[in-house]
Amino acid sequence: MNQKKRYYFYLLIICLFITGMFFVMPVHADTGPKPFVDITVTGIDGRTCYGTLLSKEKSTGPASVWDGTEEPYVGEGGKEIWSKFQAYQDTDGFYFLNWNWAVSDEEPLHWGYYPPEEFKVLLYFPETDSFVVSSICYRYAFSTYYTMNISEVPTSQPFAAVSAVKKYDFKYESISFAVRMLLTVGVELAAAWVFGYRKKKQIILLLEVNVVTQIILNVMLNVMVYGMSTAYYLTGYYLLEILVTGIEMFIDYKYLSAYGNGYPPKSRAIYYALAANLASFFLGGYIITRWFY
């Protein structure tokens, strides 16, 4: 098998691997990490509690106000708890979007798929038939964290309001970023080995390029959440992926062959960068979504 045929064989194997992943993972048109909101509630003290985010808008992603006709998604609490949230009337006109979760001191309220941009946290305690609602909150970063302390809230009254406080989880985000970095570098170095890039200088170059482009990508993802609505975030995310791939493609084409004394040929770097980024995008996105979001 000559070099050109061998290269196409390698590319075919990687493409088949990527395609095969679609048969073992949920298929969405928006594969990849997404913004989320995480609310830590303290002071629940073993009480049964359910929570939701009330939205300023009537819909966000697949979540929306009940239209009164279709069978609603009732969430973790079942129809009875859903009915309580549905009947709640917010003083500022925020909407219940049908989603709710069980919440405890150990289990935060986590909205991981297109959370509202402007919202309130609403908690319901079925044992006392009472609500606790937060102040108005905003999605302030790619990963948005708030805390609510309800330890001083009396359970005898049907309604109470408390403040939600921003608390960015730097430790979690650092671990998440490190895992994304390791996955991306690991996948792309494995692809480099398959494509014949095995010299020390080639490996060092790929390590440096991947670290820099991953930092650029993650910083820009956080910046985008400030300046873009959820509807435009996905487009921006894909454009950033294309930009990163383009940067890597240019650097790989310019230097990889030279660092290998002419092998592999320069043209292979373009196909390597494309295949490696596709592989890391789908595999990394799948694992990160499963573990962290």
Q: 108-137 pLDDT, tens per residue? A: 999 988 899 999 999 999 999 999 999 999
Average pLDDT (223-233) is 57
Phi, psi of 32 (to 5 degrees): 130, 165
Structure token pair of residue 26: 């949920």
Q: What is the dihedral of CA 195, 199, 201, 204, to 10 degrees?
A: 60
Phi, psi of 236 (to 5 degrees): -65, -40
Whether residue 10 has pLDDT greater than 80: no
pLDDT value, residue 20: 45
Residue 70's pLDDT band, with cuts at 50, 70 and 90, is confident
* 44-56: pLDDT as tens digits: 999 999 999 999 9
